[in-house]
């Protein structure tokens, strides 16, 4: 079932040079959290300036899901799902690949397809910290964040980072 | 409406998140291009990797500060101020190879790029320079990454100005303590929030070297607050650090 599914970007390689206005996620009534006022009209409008990421695809699989009216729709539709997968990049700490899922305007899942294991230091840090912070991290995903601090020193690290994933789906605090 | 732009510059990745407000599309795009041009020019001036950069010529004694681009004197002055505020923990003159302002340039450039965008008329500006952010136009929630995993958050912070994080993960354990000359061992990461990124960045670097004892020093600086994630993965905030309860 792909109804109402929007998939953005298979890799991050095309992100450099991306300059895109995106009203979509904020105008979508399903992007409104329970704490939002919900006053914005849906526009579903996206346009780009400059060099747009070549591998970013917007796929409204079901035309009936396109928002053209007011927010007072009678029939609720399935929440839209956005997914973004970062590139798998080797670094001194091993391989990491990040996948995020945004559903109903909320970051519902962050998974990683490769674990940063392999290096003894990384192994130690991961073993030590991940269990302590995992629950906090899961809680944080619904907290409407606008950016990530401490993610990156190298460009490779950026590609692995949650900031990169947020940039790709255009998700975050308005 | 939010404008997102990602730019490779200065050996790292800059992520812009902008609300144009009344700016039209052409002016907004031109402002982003100008901000990115500034970042590339800054790299050309301050790169210690490029033999012909102003900073490299300065280090070899071929160029006087007064003859260099004015940004050089400005950044070196900030290096002095950071050294004073950290009791020498931040030291751009520690290397026998000569002055190295690298530790302050990225944060300073990120802040300057954000200021350029504010001057251009954006209603809200957020620039993330390799994990250190400068915001203008209102507070936002910013996640601090887990020291152990790049894809997880350790906590969420309410940020109105700047936030910088220095962590073991980005240094490979090779950040040197200028007092001992050996690799610093201590916290897993150190985060500083405050009005200006050039200083928050320098303070985070110093805090990462110093660990828990540095919390009070930073909290004593007007407008700045700090957080250490210690070797056991526990969060140790200074008084007033704006942690957000994710619940």
CA B224/CA B204 separation, integer angstroms = 11
Contact B12 A158 (CB under 8 A): yes
Residue A63 has pLDDT above 90, yes or no: no
Please tell me which residue, B188 or B46, carries the higher pLDDT value. B46
pLDDT in tens, B216-245: 999 999 999 999 998 777 889 999 999 987
Q: What is the ipTM of this complex?
A: 0.84
Of all residues in chain B, the percent with pLDDT exceeding 90 is 62
CA B147/CA B170 separation, integer angstroms = 9
Enter the tokens of residue B174: 């090779």
**pLDDT value, residue A55:** 29
pLDDT in tens, A10-54: 222 222 222 222 222 222 222 222 222 222 222 222 222 222 232
- How does A117-141 read in b/e, with b if 16+ C-beta sit within 10 Å? eeeeebbebbebbbebbeebbeebb
- The shortest CB-CB distance from B131 to any of A141, A146, A149 is to A149
Pairing mode, if any, of strands A5-7 and A81-85? parallel
Closest CA to B24 of B93, B92, B120, B151: B120
Q: Quick check: A157 contacting B, CB < 8 Å? A: yes
Helices (H), chain B: 25-46, 54-59, 70-85, 102-120, 168-171, 197-210, 214-219
The half-sphere exposure of B206 on its side-chain side, counting CA atoms within 13 A, is 28
The answer to pTM > 0.90 is no
Q: Are B31 and B37 in contact (CB under 8 A)?
A: no
Residue of A nearest to B150 (CA): A161
From the CA of A151, how many Å to the nearest CA of chain B? 5
Enter the tokens of residue A161: 């980072």
Residue B132 has pLDDT above 90, yes or no: yes
> What is the average per-residue pLDDT within A131-154?
55
**pLDDT value, residue B187:** 85
Q: Which residues pair with A21 in a beta bridge?
A: A47, B3
Q: Are A32 and B10 in contact (CB under 8 A)?
A: no
Contact A145 B143 (CB under 8 A): yes
Distances (CA, A) of A160 to A68, A92, A124, B18: 36, 13, 20, 22
Residue of A nearest to B200 (CA): A149
């Amino acid at each position: 079932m792909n109804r109402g599914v929007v998939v953005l970007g298979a890799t991050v390689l095309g992100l450099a040079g991306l300059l895109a206005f995106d009203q979509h996620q904020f105008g979508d009534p399903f992007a409104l959290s329970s704490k939002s006022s919900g006053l914005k009209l849906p526009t579903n409008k996206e346009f780009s300036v400059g060099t747009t990421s070549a591998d970013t695809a917007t796929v409204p699989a079901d035309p009936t899901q396109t928002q053209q009216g007011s927010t007072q729709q009678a029939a609720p539709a399935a929440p839209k799902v956005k997914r973004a997968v970062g590139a798998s990049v080797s670094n001194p700490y091993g391989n990491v690949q990040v996948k995020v899922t945004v559903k109903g305007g909320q970051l519902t899942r962050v998974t990683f397809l490769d674990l940063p294991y392999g290096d003894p230091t990384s192994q130690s840090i991961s073993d030590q910290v991940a269990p302590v912070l995992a629950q906090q991290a899961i809680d944080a995903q619904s907290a409407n964040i606008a950016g990530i601090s401490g993610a990156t020193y190298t460009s490779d690290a950026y590609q692995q980072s949650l900031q990169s994933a947020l940039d790709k789906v255009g998700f975050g605090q308005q | 409406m939010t404008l997102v732009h990602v730019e490779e510059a200065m050996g790292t990745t800059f992520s812009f998140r902008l609300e144009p407000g009344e700016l039209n599309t052409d002016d907004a795009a031109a402002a982003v291009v100008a901000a990115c041009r500034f970042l590339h020019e800054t790299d050309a001036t301050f790169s210690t990797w490029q033999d012909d950069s102003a900073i490299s010529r300065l280090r070899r004694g071929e160029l006087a500060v007064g003859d260099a681009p004015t940004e050089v004197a400005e950044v070196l002055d900030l290096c002095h101020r950071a050294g004073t505020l950290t009791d020498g923990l931040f030291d751009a003159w520690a290397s026998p190879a000569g002055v190295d302002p690298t530790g302050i340039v990225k944060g300073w450039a990120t802040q300057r790029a954000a200021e350029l965008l504010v001057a251009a008329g954006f209603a809200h500006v957020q620039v993330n320079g390799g994990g250190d952010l400068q915001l203008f136009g209102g507070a936002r929630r910013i996640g601090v990454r887990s020291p152990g995993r790049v894809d997880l958050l350790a906590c969420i912070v309410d940020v109105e100005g700047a936030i910088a994080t220095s962590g073991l993960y980005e240094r490979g354990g090779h950040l040197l303590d200028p007092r001992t000359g050996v690799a610093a061992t201590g916290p897993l990461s150190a985060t500083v929030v405050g009005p200006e990124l050039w200083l928050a960045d320098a303070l985070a670097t110093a805090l990462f070297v110093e660990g828990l004892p540095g919390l009070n020093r930073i909290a004593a600086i007007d407008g700045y607050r700090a957080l250490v994630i210690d070797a056991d993965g526990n969060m140790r905030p200074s008084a007033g650090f704006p942690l957000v309860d994710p619940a």
